[in-house]
């Protein structure tokens, strides 16, 4: 039986409840982070919690805790669940209110932390590559809802994921309103062409992923040329290699996009190199969970 951190207490998972009047449930009014633990360490915990607080600030949501206190809650939740390798979800909602939209009616936020196991893709996807389709659903326009805000309202991504499921694919590619490639339904995208790695800038409508930033650092340290640049679907179709990154997905190759075979149809050497570099890096870095 797992243990959940909920508003300052640790409770059994079957006793962890949120009010039906919570605006996180009623309106998606809240923010969250997905974090990984490897080898008894929480990976890039401080960076994730800072991004959580940045998202909360953007929607004028007072978490009611310091960043250090949230970090401590994450570590303790992992410790109580004996997590060595797992996935952590930190959620902050606006809290219980009334049936109106006004956030001022919510007097206290709801904060909870879940630590459990996760496997977003089966292992074959890392050895054979993902089959990806382009979604008709466009990524939210930054002037409507800034993708930098990791909000609880993920309906935009879910609509795209429904398209992926109906197509029988592994993942979906989302374009922005101008037709540039933004990101996958829950991951960032990298494209390799002629020895150069490309990834969309945040201005394309993608989240500045912490795994994305880690991979950029690893690529630069390995001497692999990488730039942030807008690119189209044609650029994706004609790529030598493609891979996606995300906290849950980690680094996963793509070998087929809209029935176009990428490269020779197998994960390329740079993709495989970065998978290995990433796995080695996360196994030795992070905030210790302890016993």
Catalytic positions, please? 150
The answer to whether 271 touches 277, Cβ cutoff 8 Å, is no
The answer to whether 215 touches 245, Cβ cutoff 8 Å, is yes
Q: Strand pairing partners for 133?
A: 172
Inter-residue long-range contacts of 117-122, CB under 8 Å, 24+ positions, other chains counted: 117/85, 117/86, 117/87, 118/86, 118/87, 118/248, 120/246, 120/248, 120/249, 121/170, 121/249, 121/252
Angle between helices 210-221 and 45-58 (to 10 degrees): 130
DSSP 205-237: T----HHHHHHHHHHHHTT--EEE----HHHHH
Q: Strand pairing partners for 96?
A: 22
């Amino acid at each position: 039986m797992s243990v959940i951190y909920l508003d300052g207490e640790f409770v059994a998972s079957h006793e962890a409840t949120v009010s039906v009047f919570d605006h996180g449930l009623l309106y998606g009014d809240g923010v969250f982070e997905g974090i990984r633990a490897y080898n008894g360490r929480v990976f890039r915990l401080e960076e994730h919690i800072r991004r959580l607080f940045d998202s909360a600030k953007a929607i004028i949501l007072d978490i009611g805790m310091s960043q250090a206190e949230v970090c401590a809650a994450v570590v303790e939740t992992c410790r109580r669940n004996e997590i060595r390798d797992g996935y952590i979800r930190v959620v902050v909602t606006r809290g219980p209110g009334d049936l109106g939209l006004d956030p001022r009616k919510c007097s206290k936020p709801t904060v909870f932390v879940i630590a459990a196991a996760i496997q977003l893709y089966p292992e074959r996807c890392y050895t054979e590559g993902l089959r990806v389709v382009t979604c008709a659903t466009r990524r939210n326009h930054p002037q409507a809802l800034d993708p930098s805000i990791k909000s609880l309202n993920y309906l935009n991504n879910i609509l795209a994921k429904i398209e992926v499921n109906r197509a029988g694919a592994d993942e979906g590619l989302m374009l922005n309103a101008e037709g540039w490639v933004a990101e996958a339904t829950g991951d960032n995208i990298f494209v390799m062409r002629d020895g150069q790695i490309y990834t969309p800038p945040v201005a394309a409508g993608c989240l500045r992923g912490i795994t994305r930033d880690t991979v950029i650092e690893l690529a630069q340290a390995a001497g692999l040329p990488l730039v942030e640049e807008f690119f189209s679907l044609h650029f994706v179709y004609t790529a030598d290699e493609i891979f996606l990154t995300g906290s849950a997905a980690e680094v996963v190759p793509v070998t087929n996009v809209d029935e176009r075979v990428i490269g020779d149809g197998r994960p390329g050497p740079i993709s495989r190199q970065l998978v290995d570099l990433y796995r080695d890096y996360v196994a030795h870095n992070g905030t210790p969970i302890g016993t």
